[in-house]
């Protein structure tokens, strides 16, 4: 078994200094057409666009150099649009891996994205794109995994006053360990084969507030997968015959031990409409350990390795309104 770093001490809640404005060259690069092998623009400065602007390059905010950055679209449209693959994100906020085996991940903090029309999907991630990432899996095999994942992932990212149109992929995905993310006063529409919002394992303290969520999905609208202490309030959710919010733990998938349970979440003050006869607004303990892959994380004395159940506790899921 690899030697794992001990859990980090909780970081001080100090807000990052705002990044300086971008120079004209960065703005020109952002607006230049995307090309194969040159499809991203990395922001380490704050960029303001205009209502007539169209950005087809991926907006990348990576590591601490992106901390304090504000992307203000002011009505501009960003993203690749229809036909983009799973990894062709419109906006990607991610951490950089440590230089050495025992070093810390270099993460962005206090990033703001606002007033955008986004054609595609947004991913925020640290150790791994999802709960099956290699670094996530290896970390999960030792105690203190939740703290390591949270210390590695982006913190305090805000996406507000925007519209996100999905073209088959999940429009807003928070990878393992993301904390302090806020999606506010925005609209999600288009189509996702999975969910509209996904909060992955070990993430926590995120807020989904006062949004219109109208994405046509292939399953529940919002997945809270081993994610804790989140607030999902004041949203208007079109169910389209699906369930609204599922709270569960994706036991064992990919050999990753899920340490945290989907607990202490607040899902209140939302309006769910169009559930039909089958759609349920909120389902706590939605999976109950019944998945074929639950045994893939066997052999460790903690988390989902010894208990496949969702074990959701302390969640507040009323009142909500159903139409």
The tokens describing 139, both together, are: 């970390």
- Is 194:221 a contact under the CB 8 Å cutoff? no
The tokens describing 173, both together, are: 């995905």
What percent of the chain clears pLDDT 70, i.e. is strictly above it?
95
Q: Which residue would you say has higher pLDDT here, 85 or 158?
A: 158
Residue reference for tokens 């993310």? 181
What mean pLDDT comes out for the span 9-20? 67
The per-residue pLDDT for 57 is 96
Find the distance separating the first CA and the last CA of the chain, reported in whole Å: 52
Rounded distance between C-alpha atoms, residue 206 and residue 109, angstroms = 14
pTM score of the predicted model:
0.94
What mean pLDDT comes out for the span 28-53? 95
For residue 30, the cross-strand partners are none
Average pLDDT taken over every residue of the chain? 94
The per-residue pLDDT for 288 is 87
Residue 173: CB atoms within 10 A of its CB come to 24
- Taking CA 134 as the corner, what is the angle to CA 132 and CA 140, rounded to the nearest 5 degrees? 75
H or E segment to which residue 223 belongs: strand 222-225
Q: Which of 98-102, 247-251, 252-256 has the lowest mean pLDDT?
A: 98-102
- Is 177:129 a contact under the CB 8 Å cutoff? no
CA distances from residue 286 to 24, 119, 249, 262, 294 in whole angstroms, order as listed: 50, 31, 8, 10, 14
Model confidence at 10: pLDDT above 60: no
Q: Which residue would you say has higher pLDDT here, 289 or 254?
A: 254
114-164 tens-digit pLDDT: 999 999 999 999 999 999 999 999 999 999 999 999 999 999 999 999 999
DSSP 249: -
- Is 270:235 a contact under the CB 8 Å cutoff? yes
CA distances from residue 248 to 109, 134, 138, 282, 296 in whole angstroms, order as listed: 27, 22, 22, 11, 17
The tokens describing 191, both together, are: 């189509």
Rounded distance between C-alpha atoms, residue 127 and residue 55, angstroms = 28
Residue 45: CB atoms within 10 A of its CB come to 17
The per-residue pLDDT for 36 is 87
Rounded distance between C-alpha atoms, residue 111 and residue 69, angstroms = 5
- pLDDT band at 12; cut points 50, 70, 90: very low
Which domains occur in the chain, in start order? 28-241 (2.160.20)
- Is 84:62 a contact under the CB 8 Å cutoff? no
281-313 tens-digit pLDDT: 999 999 988 888 999 999 999 999 999 999 999
């Amino acid at each position: 078994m690899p030697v794992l770093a001990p859990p980090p001490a909780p970081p001080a809640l100090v807000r990052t200094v705002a990044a300086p404005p971008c120079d004209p060259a960065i703005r020109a690069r952002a607006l230049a057409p995307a090309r194969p092998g040159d499809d991203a623009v990395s922001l380490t400065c704050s960029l303001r666009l205009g209502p007539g602007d169209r950005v087809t390059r991926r907006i990348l905010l990576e590591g601490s150099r992106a901390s304090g950055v504000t992307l203000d679209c002011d009505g501009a449209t960003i993203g690749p649009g229809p036909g983009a693959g799973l990894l062709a994100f419109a906006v990607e906020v991610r951490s950089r891996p440590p230089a050495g085996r025992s070093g810390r991940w270099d993460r962005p903090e206090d990033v703001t994205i606002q007033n955008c029309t986004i054609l595609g999907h947004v991913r925020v991630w640290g150790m791994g794109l999802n709960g099956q990432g290699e670094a996530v899996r290896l970390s999960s095999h030792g105690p203190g995994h939740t703290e390591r994942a949270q210390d590695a992932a982006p913190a305090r990212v805000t996406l507000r006053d925007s519209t996100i149109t999905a073209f088959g992929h999940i429009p807003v995905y928070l990878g393992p360990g993301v904390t302090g993310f806020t999606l506010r006063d925005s609209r999600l529409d288009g189509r996702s084969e999975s969910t509209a919002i996904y909060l992955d394992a070990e993430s926590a303290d995120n807020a989904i507030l006062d949004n219109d969520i109208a994405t046509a999905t292939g399953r529940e609208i919002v997945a809270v997968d081993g994610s804790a202490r989140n607030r999902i309030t004041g949203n208007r959710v079109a169910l389209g015959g699906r369930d609204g919010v599922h709270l569960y733990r994706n036991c064992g998938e990919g050999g990753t031990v899920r340490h945290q349970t989907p607990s202490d979440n607040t899902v209140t003050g939302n309006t769910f409409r169009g559930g039909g006869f089958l759609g349920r607004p909120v389902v706590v303990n939605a999976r109950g350990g019944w998945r074929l892959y639950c045994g893939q994380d066997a052999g460790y004395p903690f988390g989902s390795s010894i208990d496949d159940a969702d074990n959701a506790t302390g969640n507040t899921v009323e009142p909500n309104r159903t139409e």
